[in-house]
Amino acid sequence: MTARIVNFNPGPAALPLQVLEQVRDEFLNFRGSGMSIAEISHRSALFEQVLNDAIERVVRLLKLPGDFKVLFLQGGASTQFVMIPMNLIPEGSSADYINTGTWATKAIKEVEILGKPHKVIASSKDRDFRYIPKDFQVTPGAAYLHFTSNNTIKGTQWATFPKAGDVPLVSDMSSDILSRPFDPKPFGLIYAGAQKNLGPAGVTIVIIREDMLAREPANLPTMFRYTTHAEKNSLYNTPPCIAIYMVQLVLKWVEETIGGLEAMEKINREKAGLLYGYMDSTDFYKGTADVDSRSMMNVTFRLPTEDLEKKFVAEAQKEKLGGLKGHRSVGGCRASLYNSISKEAVESLIAFMKDFAAKNG
């Protein structure tokens, strides 16, 4: 069997080994059913136990108040770029957006395609999205304020979330959900594709406050209504059962093995601190994000030349350090330090970086 690499991929990303091992052990005979999880009915008591346990763990981990619904949907975060303005901008209202990179730009594009009233109240495009904007005014009475909590491509992250008063926050947390605790009460909706910090690709978690459900217009297609999925406990149609099952196991790992989000944040800050600390000690590796906007999840950096970057990625792969190539739109290098990446994995990367710099500096 080929040895596993240290997986720094940005998504689909690393999963906890104990989760993968449990999936392997249960795959042919799921909990004594004589069937695989890929074969059991989504209407069965067995699968409903998985689904409901996942929902309960999200509620506990995020300390959600009782007026939030947890949904498991398909279509990725990109479909939420459309569903959010369709459902949550009432007639005569407008929404605010903050643009901090590729995914926020895509969300804004979709609200434009729909022709829904909106305003981009801040952007970091002027400096190639290297920072998180600090100076902006939220429009009084806006339907919501949309922002992307972590930016995988540019390596920036909101250290603290924007203050919007009575305007509900709506956030794409695809790449840093479950990485740290936060107060959910100001949020009207949180969404996240699973394939970075939650599980495999194929399912998207949507956490929506009940008062937001009341905004739904009458003319939406059934599958694009949040109420459709909230009223049927995400079982209106056949859900991605395997992906939900694996998310449930990851949630269990965060809650029971790691010890919750406070413990998870401590680990994540230590990992990122080690890598940024080494990079700051050398001129060979240069971070691309402003120091006060740096992401704990995605560390983006450049080497002195593009040829050295290609060599770095290739030689790292030979040392079983994978997924270090930067996004195709920006180049460079990137190490994604999602929850499943251990401190020891980061130390292995730093040791390789030191050796590579010594040989090529």
Find out whether 208 and 226 touch, Cβ atoms under 8 Å: yes
Q: What's the rounded Cα separation, in Å, for the pair 210 and 303?
A: 48
139's tokens: 């429009």
Find out whether 179 and 265 touch, Cβ atoms under 8 Å: yes
Find out whether 174 and 107 touch, Cβ atoms under 8 Å: no
172 is catalytic: yes
Decide the pairing of beta strands 150-151 and 156-157. antiparallel
Provide the Cα torsion 36, 39, 40, 43; round to 10°. 150
Considering 196, 253, 271, 325, which one is annotated as catalytic? 196
Considering 103, 158, 176, 271, which one is annotated as catalytic? 103
Find out whether 337 and 271 touch, Cβ atoms under 8 Å: yes
Q: Which residues contact 171 (CB under 8 A, 6 or more apart)?
A: 146, 147, 148, 149, 161, 187, 189, 190, 191
253 is catalytic: no
Q: What's the rounded Cα separation, in Å, for the pair 149 and 277?
A: 23
Considering 172, 176, 253, 325, which one is annotated as catalytic? 172
Distance (Å) of CA 193 to CA 140, 197, 223, 241, 299: 30, 9, 18, 15, 20
Q: 353-357, long-range: CB within 8 Å, 24+ apart, which pairs?
A: 353/278, 353/285, 354/278, 356/312, 356/315, 356/316, 357/282, 357/284, 357/285
267 phi and psi, to 5 degrees? -65, -45
Report DSSP state, residue 77.
Answer: H
Decide the pairing of beta strands 150-151 and 145-148. unpaired
Q: What's the rounded Cα separation, in Å, for the pair 199 and 45?
A: 22
Q: What's the rounded Cα separation, in Å, for the pair 335 and 331?
A: 13
328 phi and psi, to 5 degrees? -60, -25
Point out the residues that are catalytic. 103, 172, 196
